Amino acid sequence: MNVSEAIRSRRSIGKVMQEEVPAASIEQILEAGTWAPNHRMTEPWRFFVLRGEGRDLLGNALAEVAVEQAGGPGSPEAEAAAESARQKPMRAPVVIAVAVTPKDHPKVIELEEYGAVFAAIQNMLLEAHALGLGAIWRTGEPTYHAKMNEHFGLGPNDKVLGFIYLGVPAEGQAPQGKRTPYQDLTVWVDRADALKK
């Protein structure tokens, strides 16, 4: 599969089988992430591969966030929310948590560190697709909660940026892709004053 084909045919695949994903495939996906562009070669990404009972690490963190968001422990709502959240990582046999660890240096712009990790995630999604695997990048408010840093042993300036749920795609067609034509979102600038009204 060439790059153009991979970019245009990749889709988020949320339904995967519980079939084991070979470690060699996971390693290939991780390595693809490390080839993302990163200013000043800071390599600000950190990967956590969760398999088997290791997925409980994420499940427990999600459960704690759910309890807090439901108003605290003790209520039936909080317990139900916690149990539902705890089961989410079990939807795939492998979950790769991806975090940013911005470098503390006067010439490093923190926002660029985030951009580098987002680029790493895209590389990983494309590599998974090229390997015939289904993957989806899951985020949401609990992803950025302080409890995630606590559970993943990250520092106060670090941040979990998402979870790649990975597995062999379940039966069925991948959803059709649709994008706004680039022409509708692009301005060609041929002279400096072209954008002046």
The annotation places the binding site for FMN at 10-12, 39, 137-139
Backbone angles phi, psi at 94, to 5 degrees: -135, 135
b/e string for 68-87 if b means 16 or more Cβ within 10 A?
bebeeeeeeebeebbeebbe
User: Which candidate, 132, 46, 55, places its Cα nearest to that of 89?
Assistant: 55
CA distance 185 to 164: 28
| Known binding-site residue numbers | 10-12, 39, 137-139
